[in-house]
Chains A and B, each alone.
Chain A
Amino acid sequence: NAGVMQNPRHLVRRRGQEARLRCSPMKGHSHVYWYRQLPEEGLKFMVYLQKENIIDESGMPKERFSAEFPKEGPSILRIQQVVRGDSAAYFCASSPPWVRSQYFGPGTRLTVL
């Protein structure tokens, strides 16, 4: 049973480019969460999705950031027109329904030059 998978593990973008981060949840997990970790900080909640639905996006910046979890395929976190402040580790977590513990992927480290 593979764990939560994220790709790419490392992503380098220049200012103004787009970043796409992918997350495949564990088998049987229908809930996906995205978190961001800045240096020397804890993880900050960004968005919670179920298949084809955004349940809670209260942690998402109002502009440039979007997330989706389509019926087929991985969840995608998209950052448009990246800026240096977007450089961080982005973690995806998943859980099955009715289970409150979340299981994390290895993260994508985004570096904006």
Chain B
Amino acid sequence: DQQVKQNSPSLSVQEGRISILNCDYTNSMFDYFLWYKKYPAEGPTFLISISSIKDKNEDGRFTVFLNKSAKHLSLHIVPSQPGDSAVYFCAASEGNRDDKIIFGKGTRLHILP
């Protein structure tokens, strides 16, 4: 059972434009959500997170939006830069489950020159 779903395996965006990566989840007990970025042959790098008590969190070029009623979150990157080309993983955890993180399958983002 896929509790965290990233339905777009890949996404191409022009440099300078906004990249929007989407994620859906099914477990209503999730209360903490994270985005990780991964380059080939490296470990995932933590990007940004959001608690379920918020609907938006912003850090520089990265903003995460959470819609609890729709069980949907999105990551916005603006403006997109060539170094943003990577695989982005959406992830979630339940506070009372010792914080093991459940990952989506990832979306490969290509930033076009």
The residues of A with any CB-CB pair to B shorter than 8 Å are 4, 6, 31, 33, 35, 40-45, 48, 55-56, 58-59, 91, 93, 95, 100-107, 109
Residue of B at shortest CB range from A105? B43
Shortest CB-to-CB span from A38 to chain B, Å, is: 10
Partner of B100, one of A33, A103, A105: A33
Kindly state whether residue B68 has any CB partner on chain A within 8 Å.
no
In contact, B100 and A42 (Cβ under 8 angstroms)? no
The residues of B with any CB-CB pair to A shorter than 8 Å are 4, 32, 34, 36, 41-46, 49, 89, 93, 95, 97-106
Main secondary structure of the interface of B (DSSP, over half): mixed
Bound complex: CA of A31 vs CA of B43, how far in Å? 17
Chain B residues lying within 8 Å of A33, measured Cβ to Cβ, are: 100-101
Chain B residues lying within 8 Å of A109, measured Cβ to Cβ, are: 41
Partner of A45, one of B46, B95, B100, B104: B100
Residue of B at shortest CB range from A107? B43
